[in-house]
Every structure is written in structure tokens, then in C-alpha cells.
Chains A and B, each alone.
Chain A
């Protein structure tokens, strides 16, 4: 029987004052005792709404039930049957908007800590030896472009079906945003490395330093390299800029450049060669996960003050609630309803400040959110040494520019059938941020899985089951 307790079992975390200066993971994970205690809270609803609120429909009550019964191996099996990246999703999914957001216990009581439990089970699995080693049983090989979550999941699913898979990655290491974007203190690289080792043990081959569209064209993958089908998971890595004066000053970064220098190129390590500049005061513009990662990373890189500047209010913020809470605990300043107008020059080509204007919320705009309206005469200057822009990204046009017949939307996103991922080219499928624009890890993973299923079906039946709606 479920045990009635209004509160979530607290996730042990590193103390805020200490962790704000190290890259060690903030959340320390549940112990077996924590996990069983929390698992007992699940009501095991007849018609579990949490499952339908999960983008990949994890049988949530079932895996939690297994945890409560002490059957971790069973829990791991259930989880992985629906979500191939549980250790990652348990750490980075916006649970408050998905499973936990619709938990029947929510409202008066705190929802079951589904994310923490997912992470616990996946971490338990990672401590066990790898046992399953599926073999390649089919003659066709499939190419996956991009080693982000969508590509990794698609490759894993295809390998499970016995296909040989080659993943091509433009950078020197696989992982996509999981490696170059999300910092170590939220997602340790060891977790990602383990997932990649699992794929390799299942026969997936990784070819890094290959840029499809440049090193090999997409068409040649099929025509010359003999692949039977292709999955495109190239993400949405192209950063946007504000177009305000001063954006080319030294000390202004896109969040992608800042985080890549640190996460992928290890700029925090004195032995590594890639430099990064972090001054005493850092302003990050934006309020999504990327902005939170950049601002908390600034603190860890030695900034004395790090702040968020966002033109709407706290209510419109799009970051995971947990990251926002952690950021507040770590001492990040938040300037809500503040819009940047100009980045100021110290006279030597470096950033010396950010001229801003206060805003108030007006009537809803096209996005349905309240429109920020400038308050006349409210301009002021924040003295800062760095400005980091985290205002969004769009799909990188490199592949579409170099491939004929690959249809895109007006926003540069690849056109793909929602159910199968089929693009405008036969035997070429796509998913993840390249199709949706910047979204989430779980949506990318789900798209990779759906496309894998469609590829298996297309190759088995020798037909393209669906066509892209014209």
C-alpha cells in the first residue's frame, strides 16, 4: 500500500557555498534507502496521468513499484524499454512540466520525485557490469549524422534490431549538447561516456571529425558509402545575437562559445590550451537552461558576481525549476523585466558595462506571453566585464545548404513527418532540434526512437510507409 507523505524525499545536494566554486555534480543522488522511501509514495493510479505526460511514455508506476519492491534490475529494464537515456533524462528533463507536473498527488501535496527515482535506477544500472551484447545480424548499414541525444538513441535502437550503424560527428567527441553545452555539475561526462561505451559494445561505430555535407555529402552516404538509410540529428546549434551596439567587443560570448570553451575544450583546466575570459562581473542575457548553465558556470570560473538579465518576469522563465532554485542558492542575481540596449566599451575594445532599460508587462503577444513594454526614462547601467548571450539557437544551415532536395521550413528547420521522421528525401529521416528547433533532450530522444522504428519498418517492407505531406 502507498504510504501517505506530503513531502518529496529531499535529494542530497552539495552545500551551495561550496559547490558554487567547483564543477562537481550538485545533486548527489538518492541512496537505496532514500529511493525505497520515496517509491512508497506512488499511488499506483489506475490510469496514470504521469505516463501520458511523459514524451516517451515511460511506464512510471511500474518502474517505481519495482524500486519499492527492491527489484532494481527490473526497474532498470522497464525504464530502458521506454527511455534509452534514463541517467541523462533523470538529470536534465523538465519533470515539473511533464511527469511530475501531472502527478495525481500534485496540487495539495508534492508530486512523487519521479526524476530523482529515474536517475537513481539508471545510476544503479551503471554500477553493474554490462551484460547484453547484441550482435549485428543484418546486412544493411545505417548512417546517423550527429551524436547528440537524437542520434545516440536512433543508433541504439537500430543496433538493437541488428543493424550495423555508423554515427558521424563533426566535433572530436560524441554527445552533442550533452558534451559541449550542459556542464559537468549537472551532467557528469562519465554518465555520457558510459552511454557511448554501451552503444559501442552493441556494435555502433563512431566516426568523429567528419562533417556531413563537407567531408562526405549526404547523398554520397547512400550512393557511394553504401548506407541503406540515413538519420539526421544535427541539432540547432547556431546562436542568435541581439543586434545591439557593442556585441563585437571582446568579452562578449554566445553561451555556446562560452560553454564549449569550458565543457568541450576544458578551459577550466590549467593544462588545457583553450583560453576563456571570465571577469569579475558577468551578465548573462536570457532565462532558459542555457542561460542558467552559463551564469552558474561563470561563478565556478571565478566571477565574483554573476547575474541574469531577462526582459520578461520570473513567471515567463523557461529554465528547469530545480536549476533556477540551485542558481538562487548559489547567489546568482536576477534582473527581471530588464532589457539590454547596448554593451559599453572600456575604451580598449573590452566590455565595461551593459546599458539596460526596465520593462513592464503589457498585453499578450503572438507567443501568448505578456509582451514586455519599455518604461520610459528607466535606463541604467550594470557594470560588468562579460556579457554572455543565451537568447536561443536555430538549426545550423551547413547540411541543408550542401544537400539538394532537403526541404526546410521558413525558420530553417528540417521538414519531417511527425510520426516517422521521414524528410523530403527517400530513405533520409530526421529528428531532434534540427526538426523542432531548440527543444529538450527527451523530445530529441523520442524522435530518434520513432525514426529508428520507421527505418526498420521501411527496410523490412522495402517501402516508405509514409510520405512527407506536401
Chain B
């Protein structure tokens, strides 16, 4: 059982949680995730460690409601407990020292930039975050990022805040030398379609780009092989070899198709949950 110390909605579909998890906080590093279960009989789902504080023994996660398990988690409040939280899992992000890191975040992926940017800045590198959303109200954690990065570039599809357009358009401008300037490394965390677009944007510009893949997972320890992602033509297990891989080597077609394997069953699970809780 892991106690929730703080819980607050960031948007109508994403919620911020600070967990009392001293063992995880003590060893977590940017790029890693936890596996959690909300209830007996529930799924094990992977959630990125957005931030951690070794002093207070706390870990931050940001959960976006998409299906039954994430809804169950998002219904929890401070003082309540999550049944199982195991981690940190996955390999930490490895980047060459120094240089200009551009973190591109979309949706809940924005949260995952927090600890990455903090660590990067502490080690002396320059940091820029490019974060995007459909509209201004869906942007999350801007103040936190502003305090951690040298620059924050905001993009909205409708132009309600910052740059009007996609994060990839703004990224292309940076690569061309605009604003905070050309990045040496890019780390993109967000929806698969966004990460694929980032891969296409940096391809051919000799900008080392990592993406954080989010395949379906069962155990998160390298035992089931369900999380395999094709990277440079070879199957790699995202839970132990990743979840971050070189964006230019990832086969996104296969990855996107595999993530849709259970769409039908997931809808059924949501309906069961809705009936049980009288929602919707």
C-alpha cells in the first residue's frame, strides 16, 4: 500500500499525485517508471516517475484518465492509498554531458520532463522545454517547468497561449537557430503520434533524439515480452531496455498498432466501471 500525500487535478483528465514512497524516491532517475495496481483484480499499469525528492521520500506521478485503471487512480484523493506501486523500473535516460537539451512534452508527458530538466540543469547543461496542448487550459505544470528550465516554449493548436501550432513546428524553428537556439539533444515524451512527428522533425539534422515508448506492459521486469518495440529492426523490451530509445530507430507503425490490441476489451472494462460507479 502506498499512501497519497497530495492529489490535485491539473486538467479535467489529468491529476497530480505526490506519493509517500521513500524506497522508490531514493533510487529513481529521470526516464524511469513505476507499475501500479489500483485494486485487487486490477491491471498492472506503467506510469512515469515525473519527479522525486530523496529528502522527503516522495515521488510525483501525473496520471491521465484513459481507461478503467487510470480512472480508478484519478478518483483517489490525498490520504487514500494505492494498492501496489513497484519501481523504479526501466533504464534511466542517458545523454552525453553538457550541451543544450530540448525536452518536448505533450499531455501527461510534460510531467515527465520535471526531474529530467532538474537533473540536467544540476549537471550543467542548458535546458529548454517545449510543451504543447490543444488549448491553453490543457497545459500543465508550466510554473514548475519555468523554475527548472532555462527557457519554456509554449505551443497551443488554437493559439490561446504561446506559439500557435504544433510542438514540432516550434522545434523546427529552434533547430533552425530561432529563440533559445539549436538543441544538441532532444527528448520527447508524449502521445505516440507526437513522438513520431518529433522523430521526423529532427531526422536529417543530426540531433540526437530519444523518445519514451509506452507499449502495453504486464510485469515491467522483462518477463513477458509483451512490451517489445522494434528498434533498428530488432525486438527490444521497453520495460528493461527502455522505455527511452533512439527516435530515429523506432518502428512507430508497429508500436502504434500493438497499442490498439485491446481496444474492444478496454471499452467493455470502462462500461463495467461506469455501471459500478454510476458515472457517465
Residues of A within 8 A of B (CB): 170-172, 180, 208-211, 214-217, 237-239, 241, 247-248, 250-251, 253-254, 256-257, 260-261, 265-266, 269, 271-275, 277, 349, 396-398
Contact assessment for A257 and B225 in the assembled complex, using a CB-CB cutoff below 8 Å = yes
Q: Which residues of A contact B179 (CB under 8 A)?
A: none
Contact assessment for B235 and A238 in the assembled complex, using a CB-CB cutoff below 8 Å = no
Contact assessment for A214 and B89 in the assembled complex, using a CB-CB cutoff below 8 Å = yes
Specify which of A214, A257, A261 is in contact with B27 (CB 8 Å cutoff): A214
Specify which of B24, B84, B225, B240 is in contact with A172 (CB 8 Å cutoff): B84
Specify which of A215, A247, A266, A271 is in contact with B87 (CB 8 Å cutoff): A215
Q: Which residues of A contact B218 (CB under 8 A)?
A: 257, 260-261, 265, 274
A211-B89, A248-B254 known; A172-B37 Cβ under 8 A: yes
Contact assessment for A237 and B222 in the assembled complex, using a CB-CB cutoff below 8 Å = yes
Q: Which residues of A contact B219 (CB under 8 A)?
A: 170-171, 180, 260
Question: Using an 8 Å CB-CB cutoff, how does the interface string of B213-233 with A read, 1 for contact, 0 for none?
Answer: 000001101111110101000
A272-B41, A273-B41 known; A257-B224 Cβ under 8 A: yes
CB closest residue in chain A, given B68: A273
Give the one of B24, B83, B218 with max A CB within 10 A: B218
A211-B86, A211-B89, A215-B86 known; A273-B222 Cβ under 8 A: no
Contact assessment for B262 and A172 in the assembled complex, using a CB-CB cutoff below 8 Å = no
A215-B23, A349-B257 known; A248-B222 Cβ under 8 A: no
- B130 vs chain A, min Cβ distance (A): 30
Contact assessment for A273 and B269 in the assembled complex, using a CB-CB cutoff below 8 Å = yes
CB closest residue in chain A, given B40: A272
- B90 vs chain A, min Cβ distance (A): 8
Q: Does B88 contact A (CB under 8 A)?
A: yes
Alpha-carbon distance A101/B171, docked complex (angstroms): 69
Contact assessment for B87 and A211 in the assembled complex, using a CB-CB cutoff below 8 Å = yes
Contact assessment for A398 and B222 in the assembled complex, using a CB-CB cutoff below 8 Å = yes
Q: Which residues of B contact A210 (CB under 8 A)?
A: 23, 86
A214-B89, A215-B27, A248-B258 known; A257-B42 Cβ under 8 A: no
Contact assessment for B240 and A241 in the assembled complex, using a CB-CB cutoff below 8 Å = no
Q: Does B69 contact A (CB under 8 A)?
A: yes
Q: Which residues of B contact A214 (CB under 8 A)?
A: 27, 32, 87-89
Contact assessment for A277 and B86 in the assembled complex, using a CB-CB cutoff below 8 Å = no
- A108 vs chain B, min Cβ distance (A): 45
Contact assessment for A172 and B223 in the assembled complex, using a CB-CB cutoff below 8 Å = no
Alpha-carbon distance A92/B169, docked complex (angstroms): 60
- In chain B, positions 256-279 with a C-beta closer than 8 Å to chain A are 257-258, 260-262, 265-266, 269
Q: Does B65 contact A (CB under 8 A)?
A: no
Q: Which residues of A contact B240 (CB under 8 A)?
A: 396-398
Specify which of B69, B87, B223 is in contact with A237 (CB 8 Å cutoff): B223
Q: Does B43 contact A (CB under 8 A)?
A: yes
Question: Using an 8 Å CB-CB cutoff, how does the interface string of B88-128 with A read, 1 for contact, 0 for none?
Answer: 11000000000000000000000000000000000000000
Q: Does B15 contact A (CB under 8 A)?
A: no
Q: Does B185 contact A (CB under 8 A)?
A: no
Q: Which residues of B contact A396 (CB under 8 A)?
A: 221-223, 240
CB closest residue in chain B, given A237: B223
- B275 vs chain A, min Cβ distance (A): 12
Q: Does B170 contact A (CB under 8 A)?
A: no
Contact assessment for B224 and A254 in the assembled complex, using a CB-CB cutoff below 8 Å = yes
Q: Does B85 contact A (CB under 8 A)?
A: yes
Give the one of A172, A239, A254, A260 with max B CB within 10 A: A172
Question: Using an 8 Å CB-CB cutoff, how does the interface string of B16-52 with A read, 1 for contact, 0 for none?
Answer: 0000000110010000100001000111100000000
Q: For chain B, which range describes its interface: under 10, 10 to 19, 20 to 34, or 35 or more residues?
A: 35 or more
Instruction: Decide if the interface of chain A is mainly helix, strand, loop or mixed.
Output: loop
Contact assessment for B69 and A170 in the assembled complex, using a CB-CB cutoff below 8 Å = no
Q: Which residues of A contact B262 (CB under 8 A)?
A: 275, 277
Q: Which residues of B contact A272 (CB under 8 A)?
A: 41-42
Specify which of B27, B44, B230 is in contact with A265 (CB 8 Å cutoff): B44
8 contacts between A and B (CB under 8 A): A171-B86, A171-B221, A215-B27, A217-B27, A237-B223, A250-B261, A265-B218, A273-B69
Contact assessment for B43 and A215 in the assembled complex, using a CB-CB cutoff below 8 Å = no
Contact assessment for B226 and A254 in the assembled complex, using a CB-CB cutoff below 8 Å = yes
Q: Which residues of A contact B221 (CB under 8 A)?
A: 170-171, 211, 237, 396, 398
Alpha-carbon distance A216/B25, docked complex (angstroms): 11
Give the one of B24, B223, B254 with max A CB within 10 A: B223
Contact assessment for B265 and A170 in the assembled complex, using a CB-CB cutoff below 8 Å = no
Specify which of A170, A216, A271 is in contact with B86 (CB 8 Å cutoff): A170
Contact assessment for B226 and A275 in the assembled complex, using a CB-CB cutoff below 8 Å = no
Q: Which residues of B contact A209 (CB under 8 A)?
A: 84-86
Q: Which residues of A contact B23 (CB under 8 A)?
A: 210, 215-216
Alpha-carbon distance A273/B265, docked complex (angstroms): 9
- In chain B, positions 37-84 with a C-beta closer than 8 Å to chain A are 37, 41-44, 68-69, 83-84
* Extra inter-chain contacts (15) besides given A214-B27, A274-B44, CB under 8 Å: A180-B219, A180-B223, A208-B84, A215-B23, A215-B27, A237-B222, A238-B225, A241-B225, A250-B261, A256-B223, A272-B41, A274-B218, A275-B266, A277-B261, A396-B222
Contact assessment for A273 and B88 in the assembled complex, using a CB-CB cutoff below 8 Å = no
Contact assessment for B224 and A260 in the assembled complex, using a CB-CB cutoff below 8 Å = yes
A247-B235, A269-B41, A277-B261 known; A238-B222 Cβ under 8 A: yes
Q: Which residues of A contact B41 (CB under 8 A)?
A: 266, 269, 271-273
Q: Which residues of B contact A266 (CB under 8 A)?
A: 41
Q: Which residues of A contact B225 (CB under 8 A)?
A: 238-239, 241, 254, 256-257
CB closest residue in chain B, given A271: B41
Across the A-B interface, give the 10 residue pairs with the lowest CB-CB distance, nearest first: A275-B265, A257-B224, A237-B223, A209-B86, A254-B225, A239-B225, A250-B261, A272-B41, A257-B226, A273-B43
